Amino acid sequence: MGEMEQMKKEAEALKTQIEAARKAACDTDMASAASGVAPAPRVQLKTRRTLKGHLAKIYAMHWSTDNKLMVSASQDGKLLIWDSHSGNKVNAVPLKSSWVMTCAYAPSGNLVASGGLDNMCTVYNLKTPVIKTVKELDAHTGYLSCARFLSDTEILTSSGDTTCALWDLETGKQKTVFLNHVGDCMCLALSPDMNSFVSGACDSLAKLWDIRDGQCKQTFQGHTSDINAISFYPSGNAIITGSDDCTCKMYDLRADQEVIGYQDAALNSGVTSLALSVSGRLVFAGYDDFNCNIWDSLKGEKVGVLSGHDNRVSCTGVPVDGMCVCTGSWDSFLKIWN
Amino acid sequence: MARDMSDKDILKMELEQLQKEVKNTREPVSKTAKEICEWVEAQAAEDPLIKGVPEDKNPFKEKVLDITEQLWDIDYHMVITHGKEELQSNGENFCITV
């Protein structure tokens, strides 16, 4: 038997073993375990702010840890920093490349980052008298789909080149490359304890990585198309994913499998983005059909809808204090709801 | 990057990953799901998007100038005498014609 045939055979055997072990742990599912939990109330949120200023599709937004400022990125070639309370624009950062796909706010509030089809992650200092580019992180060989700061000195990126990377912002070099996906990496999310992160990719898999040793620890299957959005559950022991297959899923890290799905036969649009309320009970998922559906994460039921955008909802975000949810859209507007 | 790798190298990478993951311990869903439910229920009481945000504590409450309040704040006599008073609030101008 050829070497490749041999390896395929061994891989199949291991997959069967893993499936059997998962099945053995699968003595119930989340909806059943949550049968004693009181239903979530019907959620009716109002638009409190409509932030107007971008001139083209918005692709990404990210809250600052101060719960007030946020950054948004649009293919009009700008990052805008907003004061969400007043609705005013605080800063505008012109981008060298307008094909932006992601933006991020550092936990300190000092830095923001952006990246996209230029394959680079550019980091800007907001605190200098004039906003300055402090680093251009250039090593990915594919588009930059997502970036998240760990601190002012480290940032994680995910790329269309199928890898994720941890960068040292002082040297501008990659410290660790996370290679295991076989499709474009579309999204990443940091664990609450900052020791690990999860990535979602076009190979329809989600992977859990140890930041320090660079290893992939767990792989989650089930989606049948690209995973566009991913988030850690606030408890730290589950993740939620959103996919082009029109569903979201919760994967339990300790049981190593999917425990509930969020889907509706009537929904045939892909999920573009997701964000969780502070307790994790509510999942805000943005879809291609211009809506953001609100799911009860424990019972799997749809408990509300945020309607108001005139085009695809491309990004969603809940600030650390959980006081609102922000949606951003290809219609060029951001809306704040609570 | 997986793009530069040969089919054989990709298969080798997948196989090595499966060899690692087969060793992972898996806890029963009945235990792990129950713990998630308990955690969420404990937090949900303080989740602003579930319990609602009171109007007076909402930093995003709609910026509507309460005309009645403004009238009480300024000299009522002045408003009547001048007939029209421009009020400024948050950089926005409001005109009251009495």
Subunit contact A255:B37, Cβ cutoff 8 A: no
Strand order in the sheet with A47-51: A47-51, A334-337, A325-329, A313-317
Q: Give the mean model confidence (pLDDT) for residues B14-32.
A: 98
Task: Please tell me whether residue B17 adopts helix, strand or coil conformation.
Answer: helix
Instruction: Read off the DSSP letter of residue A41.
Output: P
DSSP string, A143-195: -EEEEEESSSSEEEEEETTSEEEEEETTTTEEEEEEE--SS-EEEEEE-TTSS
In angstroms, the CA A136 to CA A200 distance is 24
Instruction: Please give the radius of gyration of chain B, using alpha carbons only, rounded to the nearest integer.
Output: 32
Subunit contact B49:A282, Cβ cutoff 8 A: yes
Minimal Cβ distance to B12: which of A7, A218, A280: A7
Question: In DSSP terms, which residues pair with A72 in a beta bridge?
Answer: A61, A80
The tokens of B65 are what? 């100038």
Res B93: pLDDT: 39
Which chain B residues are closer than 8 Å to A259 by Cβ? 29, 32-33
Positive or negative: CA dihedral A158, A278, B35, A32: negative
Res B62: pLDDT: 74
Reference B36, options A43, A293, A296; nearest CA is A296
Minimal Cβ distance to A277: which of B24, B50, B58: B50
CB of A1 within 8 Å of a chain B CB? The answer is no
ipTM computed for the complex: 0.93
Element (H, E) at B77: helix B76-82
In angstroms, the CA A81 to CA A92 distance is 6
Contact A247, A266 (CB under 8 A): no
Closest A-chain CA to B30: A28
Res A110: pLDDT: 98
Closest B-chain CA to A40: B50
CA distances in angstroms from A172 to A24, A70, A136, A139, A330, listed in the order given: 46, 25, 7, 10, 32
Reference A287, options A247, A336, A239; nearest CA is A247
Instruction: Read off the DSSP letter of residue A311.
Output: S
Asked whether the predicted pLDDT for residue B74 surpasses 80, the reply is no
For chain A, the first-to-last Cα distance in angstroms comes to: 62
Q: Residue B64 — very low, low, confident or very high, per pLDDT cuts 50/70/90?
A: low
Neighbour tally for A47: CB within 10 Å = 17
Res B2: pLDDT: 83
Q: Tell me the pLDDT tens digit for each residue of A189-232.
A: 999 999 999 999 999 999 999 999 999 999 999 999 999 999 99
Residue B82 distance to chain A (closest CA, Å): 31
Structure-model confidence comparison of residues B63 and A248, the more confident one:
A248
Structure-model confidence comparison of residues B71 and B8, the more confident one:
B8
Asked whether the predicted pLDDT for residue B60 surpasses 70, the reply is yes
Q: Residue B66 — very low, low, confident or very high, per pLDDT cuts 50/70/90?
A: very low
The tokens of B92 are what? 């926005």
Residue A274 distance to chain B (closest CA, Å): 15
Instruction: Read off the DSSP letter of residue A39.
Output: P
- In this prediction the pTM is 0.91
Res B94: pLDDT: 37
Q: Give the mean model confidence (pLDDT) for residues B55-70.
A: 69
Res B79: pLDDT: 37
The tokens of A38 are what? 């009181």
> Which residues in chain A land under pLDDT 70?
1
Element (H, E) at A85: none
Interface residue of A281, A294, A306, A336 to substitute, partner B, most B CBs within 10 Å: A281
Strands A47-51 and A58-63: unpaired
CA distances in angstroms from A336 to A103, A106, A304, A316, B51, listed in the order given: 18, 21, 15, 10, 17
Minimal Cβ distance to B53: which of A40, A161, A338: A338
Element (H, E) at A32: helix A30-33
